[in-house]
Structures are given as structure tokens and as C-alpha cells.
Amino acid sequence: DADVTQTPRNRITKTGKRIMLECSQTKGHDRMYWYRQDPGLGLRLIYYSFDVKDINKGEISDGYSVSRQAQAKFSLSLESAIPNQTALYFCATSSPNEQFFGPGTRLTVL
């Protein structure tokens, strides 16, 4: 679904580095989410935002921060990356019901 895009698609970084993952959407949705996916653990919510001035922690927010720069943009930052943050990261938007996922960012922390 080209309406939700993520950059970069793949990233390899080193322990201690700061990294930002970006998400943009053209769906006009107010609600945006960041999830991480690990094998056998499904999708776990990191942060979510229901409008530009609204930021909420999800179940695994420690070690992450977010910025909602505009309705269409929601960025996820790892201030000091660690190896157990190696995962597949998905951004999503939602209408009142359906969630639309971006293509994912595969992050490897060495």
C-alpha cells in the first residue's frame, strides 16, 4: 500500500548510535502507530498518536521516542541503539476501524 511509506527500508547500525525511522502517509488519517515485530512475538506497540499534539506510550516504549511532525509524519527514534532492538519495525495508520501498515524497516543493531 503506497499510501504509507517508511524510510529507510533496511538499516544496519552499531550499538550506541542514534537512529531515526521515518513514516509518512497520504491517507489523511489522524491515528498513527509504531510497532515492532519479532519472531514468535507478533506485533507489539511502541508508541501511538491520535493527532499532532497527542503522543502515547505503548507496551514497549522504553528505549524509544517519537515525534509527530505533522498529521502525515510520525518518526521513531532510538537514542542509543542496543542489539536487542534488532527487529522489523512497522508504521501504521488507521481509520476508525482498519489499520494500514507501511512496508516495514528491518533494523539490525550490531
Partner 1 sequence: GENVEQHPSTLSVQEGDSAVIKCTYSDSASNYFPWYKQELGKRPQLIIDIRSNVGEKKDQRIAVTLNKTAKHFSLHITETQPEDSAVYFCAARDTGNQFYFGTGTSLTVIP
Closest CA to 88 of 39, 19, 40, 55: 39
Q: Does 103 bind partner 1 (CB under 8 A)?
A: yes
Distant-in-sequence, close-in-space partners of 69: CB < 8 Å, separation ≥ 6 = 75
Closest CA to 18 of 103, 104, 85, 98: 85
Interacting positions 29-88 with partner 1 (CB under 8 A): 31, 33, 35, 40-45, 48, 50, 58-59
Number of residues located near partner 1, criterion CB under 8 A? 23
Supply the minimum distance, in Å, between the C-beta of residue 102 and partner 1. 7
Give the footprint of partner 1 on this chain (CB under 8 A). 1, 31, 33, 35, 40-45, 48, 50, 58-59, 90, 94, 97-99, 101-104
